[in-house]
């Protein structure tokens, strides 16, 4: 199976629970399990090839320009992690089916779980580090959802936030590190990067890159000092803890270190940073775990410690250590997932996870006892279980060190001692001792559905322990080969004779027995001793950060909009001035056009209207009229300076805007009071003048200079007819050359209209609806709401306007016009009916919903674009020809007309929907509803009394 | 002519900026409309002032770009005009909604809404909840 398909399958699986959950949780579980199984089989089929040393790849170009490609690879390391992720994933899906209660919506859980699985498998199969980063972030997000799955629990929410904050921050560092790595290596493909060890280690950026990448790996794998999020993530349901926080996600950091081991490892920096962090984490985690009462907290700290162990092994940089690390990854996944599931069973059956309230479960839950003990003994490193094998390998590595050998051996032994300590404590304090009579529930072994999964893992623990080479040796060899870059053939023995490792191990076990005996006084001392709490420090830091952010925000904006806008204006001006004085504008080369009389009159009109408008802006209706004059002059300006399309658009938009503002003004106060003092107004005027002078000056400077570079429009002018069959170049640009832009723009317009609709919808409910029902207009209503003249005139005008609209639409490709303008013209024709005869009357006669018009428009434009694919051309490439309709001139018919039709429909729909919303508000406010076109009735058959 | 265009754009900008600094929504909407005119006109004139040379091809071959004005700014401004209508409509509806819902048409946040609650860590909040 293609690696890409393996990575895709979990994402497909994530869709299934949503579809299937109504058929029951077993169906959903089976669907997810089957998808996982198929992916696992697909992966397993590659084993023979990988054991031969091949690397299976699949490559798809995604964004080749930035070297982000969907390249996947399967080598030994991917294989190992893939088997862990998919194999344990299957067990977890089965376990969760029985673990989660009836109240939990399990469909959502499975969706999150499959998303996470897909993200994880994506990480381990990626052959492109940018692609890997995407999957990396996805694991952070999906684990956030999983940790916070029990949304009603505050610990769950807090744990999820903390995990996201820490791993998300690490993710950012990792992105930076990976970008440096890609730049230094000259490629973003892992296959290429792995061959460039010398270039990477010789680079001056090696150390910063290493630190950034390691921050990413350490946060993900909960290494000291980022270890604190993992115990808090235990608020998640136990299947999540077993899957994410023991077997897979926390190993992503280890995976990354192993993946980049060939190019990053082997330097002094690598050794000191990685090995030391690992050693500290291993020790700190183990010590804390011994004093935790919550079973899951104990296991979480033990996971931290074990992850530290593996990190340390990777840090040593030797091939033997890498083999030990890989082997321990396998072993840890088996016994730790099993232990978590055991803890989950105990919690499920007794109602508590606190060791203080447990004890004596040996006889009450014999099966759970057996599974838990096997797994915990393996964790302690007791022969002949698999944990013993890898622990011996680790201790042997410690005794083989060349630098800091003694320190590592002593601290390592202490850590091992505490590891044995908490493992034994897990067994002894939970299962041994007196049976109690105060368990929250009556404990008994769970059903087969719950214990079969950890039992399977426990069986693996024994089998790998007894037959390491048959069971896991090949996998260790294959993945170690991928990590070290050289073929490996490890030979794992139970018995090495009496050597340093065995002695250290014996000391650890004996010490642990003593430790357990002294546990009670030690715990009291531990609780009494002052110690830094990572979580308190984290909370404090976060609070400082929020304080700083809030202080900054509050200073920037205090809720006063004019202040913010003035600051914005001044900043813009400052930036513009700075650019002007630091750049070079070149000499004024263009001669000025002579001033003609008619445009000068237009200028005078615009200037006077602007001045009056500012003076009288408090009289709102008057201000609206004056704005209309400025708008009209703008459109005349477009017409004069060779832009007929713009003139037509501007004037029709002007009409619609003024109607809109008038309708709104119907509700708003008609006058603005003087509220700001003279100083304030003076300051505002000063800012405004600065802005005006600046912008006017810039305009003048631009107008007096020729183009600094050749405009790209030459191409469009030359090819407009030849390639797109239109002579109106502006329209051709809109529907063809830059059709994508236009497509986006009509979508935005549609969204704006829908937003208005939604806004109206909320205004028609709740508090504002009540206000509207009791609305009193502050002005006298017109006596004749639907004047005869207006009704008749608009009726006559309607067909004429529609014909004009169609004409403008059809000729748009070659003459000024097109979808935008035609849409506005038709919208105005319809609006006139609404205004003349009222909303209800007009609405009764108009059967097309405006939402549908917008949708149809976007679809029509999109479909036209897609049509090009059938000709084997890129999206939105147009084809054209000419047709002759009877009685009409020959018209050019380009496929772009379909696109323009889409534009037309969207514009009509959007304008009408926006204004329609206002009429709905008016009706809510008690506007009389008319069913006749006019208030006076002109028909013959009036009742007698009326005459 | 260039001088006239530049002064008009400058004046309209100044009026627009003055109006958006007012305290009531309607004035702000008017100011935004004025700014829209000015900015659209500015974008348009980046194609420089050209009279009587609309970008409508008069012949089908031997096209010389020098005979026509720059069509690209026009196409950009055309959609900009329509989009600014959409934007104006949304803003106007928002101001209407605020007026109906809140009872006045001020743009500033009321003083009482500017005070933020004191910051606490999650644990502090939880402790207080427990006490309550």
Q: Does A273 contact chain B (CB < 8 Å)?
A: no
Taking residue A234's Cβ as centre, other Cβ atoms within 10 Å add up to 27
pLDDT at B29: 93
Q: How far apart are CA A141 and CA A512, in angstroms?
A: 39
Rounded to the nearest 5 percent, the helix, strand and coil shares of chain A are 75, 5, 25
pLDDT in tens, A372-386: 999 999 998 888 888
Q: How far apart are CA A242 and CA A351, in angstroms?
A: 18
Residue of B nearest to A703 (CA): B48
- Let me know whether A401 and A479 are in one domain: yes
Instruction: Give chain B's radius of gyration (CA, Å).
Output: 25
Mean pLDDT of chain A: 87
> Would you say residue A940 has pLDDT above 70?
no
Is the CB of residue A204 less than 8 Å from the CB of residue A212? Answer: no
Q: How many CA atoms lie less than 13 Å away from A464 in the CB half-sphere?
A: 29
Is the CB of residue A322 less than 8 Å from the CB of residue A314? Answer: yes
First-last CA distance in chain A: 88
Residues in chain B within 8 Å Cβ distance of A760: 93
CB atoms A644 and B54 under 8 Å: yes
CB atoms B27 and A672 under 8 Å: yes
Q: How far apart are CA A284 and CA A782, in angstroms?
A: 83
- Let me know whether A316 and A433 are in one domain: yes
Alpha helix segments (H runs only) across A467-560? 468, 474-484, 500-517, 519-528, 534-556
Q: What is the mean pLDDT of residues A243-251?
A: 84
- The shortest C-alpha distance from A115 to chain B (Å) reads 29
Pairwise pLDDT comparison (A431 vs A841), residue with the higher score: A431
Lookup result for tokens 């609806």: A769
pLDDT at A499: 80
- The shortest C-alpha distance from B127 to chain A (Å) reads 12
Q: How far apart are CA A77 and CA A43, in angstroms?
A: 12
Q: What is the mean pLDDT of residues A64-81?
A: 89
The answer to whether position A348 is within a domain reads: yes
CA dist list (Å): A568 to A401, A502, A561, A882, B90: 62, 71, 10, 52, 22
Residue of B nearest to A924 (CA): B100
Percentage above 90 pLDDT, chain A = 37
Residues in chain A within 8 Å Cβ distance of B55: 642, 717, 728-730
Q: Does A427 contact chain B (CB < 8 Å)?
A: no
Instruction: Give chain A's radius of gyration (CA, Å).
Output: 37
> Would you say residue A605 has pLDDT above 90?
yes
Q: How far apart are CA B86 and CA B80, in angstroms?
A: 10
Q: What is the mean pLDDT of residues A552-579?
A: 89
> Would you say residue A394 has pLDDT above 50?
yes
- Let me know whether A456 and A347 are in one domain: yes
Q: What are phi and psi of A68, to 5 degrees?
A: -95, 105
pLDDT at B66: 82
Q: Does A560 contact chain B (CB < 8 Å)?
A: yes
Q: Does A566 contact chain B (CB < 8 Å)?
A: yes
CB atoms A693 and B14 under 8 Å: yes
- Let me know whether A684 and A735 are in one domain: no
Q: What letters, b where the CB count within 10 A reaches 16 and e where it falls short, cover A242-257? A: bbbbbbbbbbbbbbbb
Read off the tokens for A117. 């699985």
Residue of A nearest to B91 (CA): A756
For an interface test with A, give the residue of B76, B88, B89 to mutate (most A CBs within 10 A): B89
Partner-chain residue, chosen from A592, A720, A759, that has the shortest CB–CB distance to B94: A759
- Let me know whether A748 and A668 are in one domain: no
pLDDT at A893: 65
| Helix, strand, or coil (residue A881) | strand
Q: How far apart are CA A421 and CA A292, in angstroms?
A: 12
Residue of B nearest to A538 (CA): B121
pLDDT in tens, A753-768: 999 999 998 888 878 8
Residues in chain B within 8 Å Cβ distance of A646: 44, 74, 77-78, 81
Query: What element of type H or E holds A81?
Result: helix A76-99
Query: What element of type H or E holds A60?
Result: strand A56-63
pLDDT in tens, A705-721: 988 888 888 888 888 88
- Domain termination residue (choose one: A647, A672, A692): A692
Q: How far apart are CA A847 and CA A912, in angstroms?
A: 13
Is the CB of residue A466 less than 8 Å from the CB of residue A478? Answer: no
A623: DSSP letter: H
For an interface test with A, give the residue of B16, B20, B25, B26 to mutate (most A CBs within 10 A): B26
> Would you say residue B25 has pLDDT above 60?
yes
Percentage above 70 pLDDT, chain A = 96
Geometric angle at alpha carbon B100, from B96 and B105, rounded to 5°: 60
pLDDT at A944: 59
Q: Does A556 contact chain B (CB < 8 Å)?
A: no
pLDDT at A943: 58
Q: Does A684 contact chain B (CB < 8 Å)?
A: yes
Q: How far apart are CA A802 and CA B72, in angstroms?
A: 29
Pairwise pLDDT comparison (B110 vs A79), residue with the higher score: A79
Q: What is the mean pLDDT of residues A247-269?
A: 89
CB atoms A753 and B86 under 8 Å: yes
pLDDT at B122: 66
The pLDDT-based confidence of A947 (bands split at 50, 70, 90) is very low
Pairwise pLDDT comparison (A65 vs A687), residue with the higher score: A687
Q: How far apart are CA A781 and CA A772, in angstroms?
A: 16
pLDDT at A79: 92
pLDDT at A431: 87
Task: Estimate to the nearest angstrom the gap between the alpha carbon of A795 and the chain centroid.
Answer: 52
> Would you say residue A693 has pLDDT above 80?
yes
User: How deeply is A579 buried, as exposed, middle or buried, from its count of CB atoms within 10 A (0-12, 13-18, 19+)?
Assistant: exposed
> Would you say residue B118 has pLDDT above 80?
no
- Let me know whether A296 and A445 are in one domain: yes
Residues in chain B within 8 Å Cβ distance of A661: 29, 92
CB atoms B6 and A911 under 8 Å: no
> Would you say residue A534 has pLDDT above 90?
no
Q: What is the mean pLDDT of residues A133-142?
A: 93
Domain ranges of chain B: 2-52+68-131
Q: How far apart are CA A480 and CA A648, in angstroms?
A: 72
CB atoms A668 and B96 under 8 Å: yes
A291: DSSP letter: T
CB atoms B12 and A630 under 8 Å: yes
pLDDT at B45: 93
Q: Does A758 contact chain B (CB < 8 Å)?
A: no
- The three-state DSSP-derived secondary structure of A417-456 is HHHHHHHHHHHHHHHCCCCCCCCCCCCCCCCHHHHHHHHH
Read off the tokens for A687. 């800012």
The answer to whether position A684 is within a domain reads: yes
CA A109, A115, A117, A119 torsion-angle sign: negative
| Helix, strand, or coil (residue A929) | coil
- Let me know whether A853 and A920 are in one domain: yes
- Let me know whether A326 and A456 are in one domain: yes
Residues in chain B within 8 Å Cβ distance of A543: 119-121
Partner-chain residue, chosen from A610, A618, A717, that has the shortest CB–CB distance to B12: A610
| Residue-range definition of the domain harbouring residue A665 | 607-692
pLDDT in tens, A880-932: 666 666 666 666 566 778 888 999 999 999 998 888 888 888 888 777 667 77
pLDDT at A625: 93
CB atoms B68 and A729 under 8 Å: yes
CB atoms B41 and A664 under 8 Å: no
| Helix, strand, or coil (residue A27) | helix
How many CB contacts within 8 angstroms connect chain A with chain B? Answer: 337
| Helix, strand, or coil (residue A271) | helix
Q: How far apart are CA A315 and CA A278, in angstroms?
A: 8
| Helix, strand, or coil (residue B1) | coil
pLDDT in tens, A793-812: 998 999 999 999 999 998 88
First-last CA distance in chain B: 74
> Would you say residue A406 has pLDDT above 70?
yes
The pLDDT-based confidence of A946 (bands split at 50, 70, 90) is low
Q: How far apart are CA A58 and CA A44, in angstroms?
A: 16
CA dist list (Å): A592 to A76, A587, A635, B6, B84: 74, 14, 22, 12, 31
For an interface test with A, give the residue of B5, B25, B75, B98 to mutate (most A CBs within 10 A): B75
| Helix, strand, or coil (residue A61) | strand
Q: What are phi and psi of A885, to 5 degrees?
A: -90, 150
CB atoms A685 and B18 under 8 Å: yes
Q: Which CATH number fits domain B2-52+68-131: 1.10.287, 1.10.760, 2.40.40, 2.60.40?
A: 1.10.287
- The shortest C-alpha distance from B124 to chain A (Å) reads 10
Pairwise pLDDT comparison (A802 vs A847), residue with the higher score: A802
Q: How many domains does chain A have?
A: 3
Among residues A106, A75, A79, the alpha carbon closest in space to that of A93 is found at A106
pLDDT at A51: 87
User: How deeply is B84 buried, as exposed, middle or buried, from its count of CB atoms within 10 A (0-12, 13-18, 19+)?
Assistant: buried
DSSP string, A824-846: HHHHHHHHHHHHHH-HHHHHHT-
pLDDT at A631: 94
pLDDT in tens, A175-232: 999 999 999 998 899 988 998 888 899 999 999 999 999 999 999 999 988 888 888 8
Q: What is the mean pLDDT of residues A419-425?
A: 90
Alpha helix segments (H runs only) across A265-385? 268-270, 276-290, 295-316, 319-350, 361-364, 366-380
Is the CB of residue A716 less than 8 Å from the CB of residue A728? Answer: no
| Helix, strand, or coil (residue A73) | strand
Q: What is the mean pLDDT of residues B50-79?
A: 86
pLDDT at A887: 64
pLDDT in tens, A289-311: 988 888 888 999 999 999 999 99
Read off the tokens for A928. 């009389």
Residues in chain A within 8 Å Cβ distance of B52: 642
Residues in chain B within 8 Å Cβ distance of A606: 8, 11-12
Query: What element of type H or E holds A880?
Result: strand A880-884
Q: How far apart are CA A643 and CA A947, in angstroms?
A: 56
Q: Does A614 contact chain B (CB < 8 Å)?
A: yes
Q: How far apart are CA B105 and CA B97, in angstroms?
A: 9
CB atoms A695 and B95 under 8 Å: no
Task: Estimate to the nearest angstrom the gap between the alpha carbon of A141 and the chain centroid.
Answer: 8
Residue of B nearest to A655 (CA): B85
Task: Estimate to the nearest angstrom the gap between the alpha carbon of A893 and the chain centroid.
Answer: 43
> Would you say residue A945 has pLDDT above 60?
no
CB atoms A703 and B96 under 8 Å: no
> Would you say residue A513 has pLDDT above 50?
yes
Assess: ipTM above 0.90. yes
Taking residue A675's Cβ as centre, other Cβ atoms within 10 Å add up to 11
Residues in chain B within 8 Å Cβ distance of A921: 96, 100
CB atoms A599 and B7 under 8 Å: no
CB atoms B70 and A711 under 8 Å: yes
């Amino acid at each position: 199976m293609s690696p890409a398909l393996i990575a895709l399958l979990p994402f497909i699986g994530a869709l299934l629970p949503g579809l299937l959950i109504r058929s029951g949780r077993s169906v959903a579980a089976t669907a997810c399990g089957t998808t996982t199984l198929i992916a696992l089989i697909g992966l397993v089929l590659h084993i023979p090839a990988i054991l031969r040393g091949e690397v299976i790849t699949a490559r798809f170009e995604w964004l080749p320009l930035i070297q982000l490609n969907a390249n996947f690879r399967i080598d030994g390391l991917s294989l190992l992690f893939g088997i862990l992720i998919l194999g344990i994933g299957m067990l977890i899906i089965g376990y969760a089916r029985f673990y989660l209660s009836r109240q939990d919506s399990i469909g959502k859980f499975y969706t999150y779980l499959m998303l996470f699985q897909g993200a994880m498998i994506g990480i381990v199969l990626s052959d492109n580090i940018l692609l890997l980063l995407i999957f990396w972030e996805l694991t952070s997000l999906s684990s956030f959802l999983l940790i916070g799955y029990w949304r009603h629990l505050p610990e769950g929410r807090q744990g999820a936030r903390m995990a996201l904050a820490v791993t998300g921050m690490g993710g950012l560092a990792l992105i930076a590190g990976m970008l440096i790595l890609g730049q230094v290596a000259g490629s973003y493909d892992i296959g290429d990067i792995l061959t460039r060890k010398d270039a990477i280690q010789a680079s001056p950026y090696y150390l910063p890159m290493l630190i950034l990448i390691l921050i990413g790996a350490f946060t993900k794998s909960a290494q000291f000092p980022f270890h604190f999020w993992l115990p808090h993530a235990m608020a998640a349901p136990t299947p999540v803890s077993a899957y994410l926080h023991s077997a897979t996600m926390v190993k992503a950091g280890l995976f990354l270190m192993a993946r980049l081991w060939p190019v990053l490892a082997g330097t002094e920096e690598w050794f000191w940073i990685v090995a030391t962090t690992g050693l500290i984490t291993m020790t700190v985690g183990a010590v804390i775990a011994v004093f935790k009462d919550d079973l899951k907290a104990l296991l979480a700290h033990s996971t931290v410690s074990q992850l530290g162990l593996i990190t340390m092994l990777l840090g040593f940089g030797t091939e033997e250590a890498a083999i030990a690390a890989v082997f321990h990854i396998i072993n840890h996944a088996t016994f730790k997932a099993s232990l978590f599931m055991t803890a989950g069973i105990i919690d499920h059956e007794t109602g508590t996870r606190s060791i203080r309230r447990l004890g004596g479960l040996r006889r009450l839950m014999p099966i759970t006892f057996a599974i838990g003990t096997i797994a915990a003994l393996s964790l302690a490193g007791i022969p002949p279980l698999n944990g013993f094998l890898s622990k011996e390998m680790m201790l042997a590595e410690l005794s083989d060190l060349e630098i800091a050998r003694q320190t590592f051996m002593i601290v390592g032994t202490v850590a091992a001692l505490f590891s044995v300590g908490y493992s034994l404590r897990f067994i002894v304090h939970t299962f041994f001792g007196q049976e109690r009579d105060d368990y929250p529930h009556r404990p008994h072994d769970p059903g087969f559905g719950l214990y079969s999964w950890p039992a399977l893992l426990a069986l693996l623990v024994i089998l790998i322990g007894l037959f390491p080479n048959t069971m896991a040796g090949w996998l260790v060899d294959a993945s170690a080969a991928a990590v070290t870059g050289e073929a490996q053939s490890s030979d794992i023995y139970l018995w090495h004779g009496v050597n340093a490792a065995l002695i250290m191990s014996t000391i650890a076990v004996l010490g642990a027995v003593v430790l357990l005996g002294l546990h009670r006084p030690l715990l009291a001392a531990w609780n009494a001793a002052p110690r830094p709490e990572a979580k308190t420090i984290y909370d404090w830091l976060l609070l400082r950060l929020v304080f700083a952010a809030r202080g900054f925000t509050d200073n920037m904006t205090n809720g006063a909009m004019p202040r913010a806008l003035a600051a914005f204006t001044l900043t813009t001006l400052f930036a513009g001035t700075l650019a002007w004085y630091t750049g070079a504008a070149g000499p004024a080369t263009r001669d000025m056009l002579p001033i003609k009389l008619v445009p000068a009159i237009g200028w005078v009109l615009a200037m006077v209207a602007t001045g009056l408008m500012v003076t009288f802006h408090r009289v709102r209706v008057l201000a609206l009229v004056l704005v209309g004059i400025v708008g009209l002059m703008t459109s005349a300006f477009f017409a004069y300076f060779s832009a007929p399309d713009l003139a037509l658009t501007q004037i029709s938009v002007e009409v619609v805007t003024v109607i809109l503002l008038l309708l709104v003004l119907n509700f708003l106060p008609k006058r603005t009071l003087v509220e700001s003092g003279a100083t304030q107004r003076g300051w505002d005027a000063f800012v405004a003048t600065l802005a005006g002078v600046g912008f006017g000056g810039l305009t003048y400077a631009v107008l007096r200079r020729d183009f600094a570079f050749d405009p790209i429009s030459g191409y469009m002018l030359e090819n407009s007819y030849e390639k797109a069959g239109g002579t109106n170049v502006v329209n051709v640009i809109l529907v063809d050359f830059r059709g994508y832009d236009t497509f986006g723009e009509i979508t935005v317009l549609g969204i704006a209209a829908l937003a208005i609709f939604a806004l109206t919808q909320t205004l028609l409910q709740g508090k504002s609806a009540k206000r509207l029902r009791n609305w009193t207009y502050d002005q006298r209503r017109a006596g004749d709401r639907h004047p005869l003249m207006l009704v008749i005139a608009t009726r006559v005008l309607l067909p004429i306007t529609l014909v004009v609209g169609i004409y403008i639409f059809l000729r748009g490709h070659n003459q000024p016009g097109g979808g935008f303008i035609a849409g506005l013209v038709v919208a105005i024709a319809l609006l006139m009916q609404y205004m003349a005869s009222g909303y209800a009357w007009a609405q009764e006669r108009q059967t097309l919903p405006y939402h549908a018009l917008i949708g149809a428009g976007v679809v029509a434009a999109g479909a036209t674009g897609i049509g090009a694919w059938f000709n084997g051309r890129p999206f939105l490439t147009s084809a054209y020809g000419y047709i002759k309709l009877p009685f009409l001139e020959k018209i050019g018919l380009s496929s772009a007309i379909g696109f323009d039709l889409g534009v037309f429909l969207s514009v009509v729909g959007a304008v009408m929907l926006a204004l329609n919303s206002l009429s709905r508000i008016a009706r809510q406010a008690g506007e009389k509803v008319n069913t006749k076109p006019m208030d006076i009735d002109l028909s013959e058959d009036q009742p007698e009394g009326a005459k | 002519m260039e001088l006239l265009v530049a002064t008009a754009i400058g004046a309209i900008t100044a009026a627009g900026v003055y109006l958006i600094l007012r305290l009531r929504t309607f004035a702000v909407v008017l100011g935004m409309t004025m700014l829209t005119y000015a900015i659209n006109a500015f974008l348009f004139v980046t194609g420089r002032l050209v009279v009587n040379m609309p970008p409508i091809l008069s012949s089908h071959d031997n096209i010389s770009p020098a005979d026509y004005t720059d069509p690209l700014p026009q196409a950009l401004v055309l959609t900009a005009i329509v989009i600014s209508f959409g934007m104006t409509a949304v803003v106007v509806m928002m101001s209407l909604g605020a007026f109906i819902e809140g009872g006045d048409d001020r743009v500033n946040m009321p003083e009482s809404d500017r005070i933020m609650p004191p910051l606490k860590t999650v644990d502090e909040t939880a402790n207080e909840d427990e006490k309550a």
